[in-house]
Structures are given as structure tokens and as C-alpha cells.
Chains A and B, each alone.
Chain A
């Protein structure tokens, strides 16, 4: 959606397994974000990045890791340390604040389930 591609759409994780969710954007945005969505809890921020090779923890970073080697890409790894990974994961991107258009645009999401 809106130039942000998330893959896969559905993902299954076995116990003790790390899995990586892909997020690519072609909007030339500097900032990228990962959110977790659970029923009745809205969207919660996991990690965000404002520039290549730099990222910050959000509100629920435990059990997750990210990298930002390219401006267009911000993959999220759900590690085996995340004991309750079943959720809908959303990636977003935006310009840096201060510009005229700093709206966050979202991808279509990845639904992760535990086998």
C-alpha cells in the first residue's frame, strides 16, 4: 500500500525459531517504523529508524531485532525470545518531521502465527 511492500502476507513460526519480516519502501522516506497490532490494543511501536544504520527501541522492543542497511529496507526479526509473537505486524514510513508532508504511510501487514 502506498509504496510500502511487506512480505510475506502470512508467516508461521515454530517454537524456538527466529523469523524475519520484510519491509521495503520506494517513497524515498528517511524514517521507518514497525508496529505490532493485537485485538483491542491498537498499534504499539516496536522499533523505528530515522536514518540508515541507526534505529531506536519503541515501547515493546523485547524479543525483536531490526537492521537498516539501506534506506529502502527495514526488516524485523522476531526472535525465539518473543514468547507471544502471534500478531499482525505493520511497517510504516514517513519523512522526517518538519517537512510539509510527514504522514506515516503503512504497508498491508504480515500476520504471524505460532505453529
Chain B
């Protein structure tokens, strides 16, 4: 089955700096890669996703890049703000006609310091 590794497990940055979180996946058939943000005591919320026919996607301060050959993808947050502090999860799946079975990474605790 799919295996997703995520690094680093914790990341501390100064407000205004950039943050980068990296993930690798094992199954070359995976074609959908979402990123979720989870605040304390809440469920994860999707912040951005990318499909395998695209190499990069950007949404304001957030961007995701995908390298299919190397089987890794990364989340980039620019101009970090205190409200960006949360746990971030990457995930991978193979989109079929039967739902969206995600395999998650182990999470990155991001702390944005003033």
C-alpha cells in the first residue's frame, strides 16, 4: 500500500518568514495530493491540493509543488502569520471511481513566533 513520509515533524519560524514542509510517497500510481491544516481540538481542513497533471499550484500565500519523478511534494507558506500556527498534514491517494482513500503523513507542527 501507499506510504507517505513527512518532514519536519516540528517547524518554528519568525513571523514574515517562509515555511516549507516536504512529503514523499511510495506508490507511483498516486495522483491526488491534498494538504490539510488542523488547529487544536478541531478537524483537519483542506488548504490546497494538487493533481498529478500539474507541477505547481498557488493560492495567495500558499503554494504546493509536485515532482512525480522523485515522488515528492512540498507545501510552501510565505509571509507567515501567527494564525498559520497549526499542524499540517500531507496526504496522497489514487482517484478511482470509488471514493478518495487518503494516506496521510505524520504531520508537521508549525509555530510562527512574533
Contact = CB atoms under 8 A, between A and B. Distances in A.
A90 B43 contact: yes
Contact of B107 (A6, A42, A104): A42
Interface residues of B, number: 26
B102 A104 contact: yes
B99 A1 contact: no
Contact of A31 (B46, B99, B104): B99
Nearest to B31: A97
Interface in A34-65: 35, 40-45, 48, 50, 58-59
A98 B43 contact: no
Interface string A15-35: 000000000000000110101
A109 B42 contact: yes
A4 to B, nearest CB: 8
B42 A97 contact: no
Nearest to B1: A59
Interface of B: 1, 6, 9, 34, 36, 41-46, 49, 89, 95-107
27 contacts: A1-B42, A1-B45, A6-B43, A30-B99, A31-B100, A40-B9, A41-B106, A42-B6, A42-B105, A42-B107, A48-B99, A50-B98, A59-B1, A90-B43, A97-B95, A97-B96, A97-B97, A97-B99, A97-B100, A102-B95, A103-B46, A103-B49, A104-B100, A106-B44, A106-B45, A107-B43, A109-B41
